[in-house]
Structure 1
Amino acid sequence: MGSTQLCKPPCGRQGHRSVYLKSQHKIVIFGGYAGYHLDDFFVYDIKENMWSLMEECHDDGNSNRLSPREVFSMVLNEQRQSIVFFGGKDEDYRYNDMHEFSLVTKKWYRLHQGGPRKKIDSPKKTTVPKETLLNIPSPRSSHSCIMIEKLQQMVMFGGYDGDDWLNDCWIFDFTLNKWTKVNLFTKHLSENSLKIFQHGFSSHVAVFDDIRSEMLAFGGWTGEMDINAMWTITFPTLNELEFQSKLGNIIDRNQLSDISIITFSSS
């Protein structure tokens, strides 16, 4: 990762995000909240048990650098050797901008500007123009994102926009540099699970199982209660029969209690 500036450990915080650099045995941490919103960028060397500041190139004046915020998403794109950030919030706004930090050039890039920011604590419900919603996800925080390396796609699900808890699902294709909203099929959900899904939720966690080609999300907050459901979003195969068989295998699985099945296709 080049030269590093050793430093003290990060201050206590919440709402920050991290990724693991497997090839370097290091953890990268960005931002969060500690009584004020942070934009500090740290690297923890697991082998050496040492903290350092992330090396950053300032040739462009950091005009594309992520602003201080919390509860955003942060994923590692191994093929591009970069870290990708989306959304989050600060004291005033929720965002739907998307930034990328190159681990090679140490530069920040803006993948898209995002639509109108959504004001925090607005006296009335705010809306985002339809033309924005058709192209990119709405401003949000406490959503989840996972990376599918072999497809060079990032999948985002749920979150909170300041007014509503969300249940929408989007895919960002790094090859096309484009967002696509996907339709979620929920016919396999129980009545209770369907009710939770339709309401939407935030603050869940998600991972991608590249062996089974499914995204698993656990827990979350509906605004009224914490939930302990395990959701799976299954990615269709090219063969519909294989896809149906895969669903059957998931439904029969009994290692997890309270599994809900969600499958999707592009809209």
Structure 2
Amino acid sequence: MYSNRSQQQRREDSIILGPVSPTDSQTQESQYKYLPLVTKAIQDQLDPKWQECKIKGKNLSPRSNCAITIHQNDLYLYGGYQSAEGILKDFYKLNLRAEYFYWQNIKCEYEPGPRCCHTLCAFKDSLYLFGGQIADSITTNEIFVHDVNLKFWKKLSINDSYPQPLDNYCATVYNDQLIIFGGFYTADTFKHSNDLYSFNFKLNSWIKLNKSKGRQPSPRDGSSIAIHDQILYMFGGKNGDLRYNDLWKFDFSKQEWHFIPVNSLSDIPMTRSGHSLISYQNELVLFGGIHDITWELDDLYKFQINLQEWKMINKDTSRRKELEVPSPTKSNRNSFNKRRSIKLPSFVRPLSLRKSPCSSPKKVRSSSQSQNSCFYNNQNGLQRCDYKNNNSSINTTINYVQERKQLQKFKKKEAMLKLFDVEINKRAIFQDDCNVTEKLKTSIILIGNPKQDLKLAKGALTEFGQQIVSKFLLPLSNGQNTIHGKKPCARDGHAVAIFDNQMVLFGGDRHTMSFNDLYLLNLKQF
């Protein structure tokens, strides 16, 4: 049954029943209250040396341990590894001088097959692919050649001079030779390598360069090499769980290795593997790598060859400094906690504040000690502290660590929620019937993509007038194929190459999460 009321009456009722809308000034104040936060979030990521390439069309699947090289204006990429798909065998190229960046899949009748932890290099009009993994724990020493003009692959015949099957080595091109160092042999020996080989493109023959038994780098994989002025430089790598941050040079004229003692100890990079090292003018440029399990790096260094010293360009931002130990809450204080002048035993302090690794509290505490006392060492010798309560030190340690972790969680939660808080004296203006709805409104204003025509009361165009993709991306500027100022996150297993005065970086992974992003580093802005 239809209602007899007119449409005008229904419109008036909807106006009366609807919420009262705030004034224009109040609306603008709610929209732009968090402008400084967005500005700071954007500026924290700004780095004029870097720019991220925007890919038009379908992007590649994320991967690490792939191989890239540059021939003329084209970037070529082959293979890689992705945890969900395994070892890849696709082959692509990308024109770095094009108006738009897009990956072009190269199909050939005959292909090398799946590869990761291998190398790809360019010599004249050919691309050379050597070694790497072809399956789980299976490597190869095959060399394939791709003709850029005719677009076909050819496998070279293996002779006695070829090294054993090898993967995770480092390589570079020197004159008409491919130079490789280190890696891991998996054929029969299953060991790390410190061999230095040279492959002649014209003769299809290998030569072992480090035949002398003098001082030389220890066996390793995951290192990186670069050549400057007929000198080969090698940095870092790992042998099992042991990682290095040593720098070596190999003189091709003398066929000898020499360790490089640097002048400054303050800016020496941390130990790492899976990083990248390139040569530019009179400097070596080092980026990323992995320092420890789940600790990938995003720092940037340069080694000044003339001064023989490292200089940090960007420090590592992948880890935050650990918070100091907070004092216990009032509800959890007891007679033991009142003795603040007494230094806590090493096993009572959190693990992050211990000076040296220590075994479990049960092993540290002797059975002959009283339940109400403990012993610890300080600068004056052995000291004793008595506890007035009857609880064991082990239970106190567990409770203290749990309280500290819980307090840290609360602090992080408060810091995150602080972004969405409104000042007390202005809450009535923006108050909504539902707290969840209010939080969602604020978050949309903070990280959303506002309209272009939003303006302040004075008519000045705000930073929301720029095209902002999200809180974590930067405004688009100066061109249609790159995002200027966007730098890569921490990673290892990425691939790099030099194009003009820029370092091209692709992919890599962090905590088994692979990337498919492409970056350019302006080497002139150092």
When normalised by structure 1's length, the TM-score is 0.68
Instruction: Give me the CA root mean square deviation.
Output: 2.9
Instruction: Say if 1:189 and 1:145 are closer, same or farther in 2 by CA, change over 3 A.
Output: farther
* Per-residue deviation, 1:41: 2.0
2:286 aligned residue: 156
> Is the helix fraction higher in 1 or 2?
2
* Per-residue deviation, 1:175: 0.7
2:279 aligned residue: 147
| Aligned residue runs from structure 1 range 1-267, under 5 A | 7-22=160-175, 25-34=176-185, 35-54=190-209, 56-58=211-213, 62-63=214-215, 65-77=216-228, 79=229, 81-112=230-261, 134-148=266-280, 151-163=281-293, 164-183=295-314, 191=472, 197-198=488-489, 200-209=490-499, 211=500, 213-236=501-524, 265=526
Instruction: Say if 1:55 and 1:13 are closer, same or farther in 2 by CA, change over 3 A.
Output: closer
Which structure is larger by alpha-carbon Rg, 1 or 2?
2
Task: Work out the CA distance in 1 between the residues paired with 2:258 and 2:209.
Answer: 16
Task: Work out the CA distance in 1 between the residues paired with 2:309 and 2:487.
Answer: 29
Letter paired with 2:496? A
Instruction: Say if 1:192 and 1:40 are closer, same or farther in 2 by CA, change over 3 A.
Output: same
Q: Percent identity?
A: 26
| Structure 2: 5+ residue stretches without partners | 1-158, 316-467, 475-484
Letter paired with 1:137? P
- Does the CA contact (< 8 Å) of 1:7 and 1:53 recur in 2? no
Deviations 1:23-68 (A, max 9, x none): xx1112221012211112222111111122215445xxx22x0110
Q: Across the two proteins, how many residue pairs are aligned to each other?
A: 201
Task: Work out the CA distance in 1 between the residues paired with 2:227 and 2:505.
Answer: 18
Instruction: Say if 1:14 and 1:97 are closer, same or farther in 2 by CA, change over 3 A.
Output: same
* Per-residue deviation, 1:195: 10
Instruction: Say if 1:160 and 1:195 are closer, same or farther in 2 by CA, change over 3 A.
Output: farther
Instruction: Say if 1:69 and 1:112 are closer, same or farther in 2 by CA, change over 3 A.
Output: same
> Is the strand fraction higher in 1 or 2?
1
Instruction: Say if 1:93 and 1:218 are closer, same or farther in 2 by CA, change over 3 A.
Output: same
Larger mean Cα displacement after TM superposition, 227-236 or 135-144: 227-236
* Per-residue deviation, 1:92: 4.0
Task: Work out the CA distance in 1 between the residues paired with 2:225 and 2:212.
Answer: 20
| Structure 1: 5+ residue stretches without partners | 1-5, 115-130, 238-264
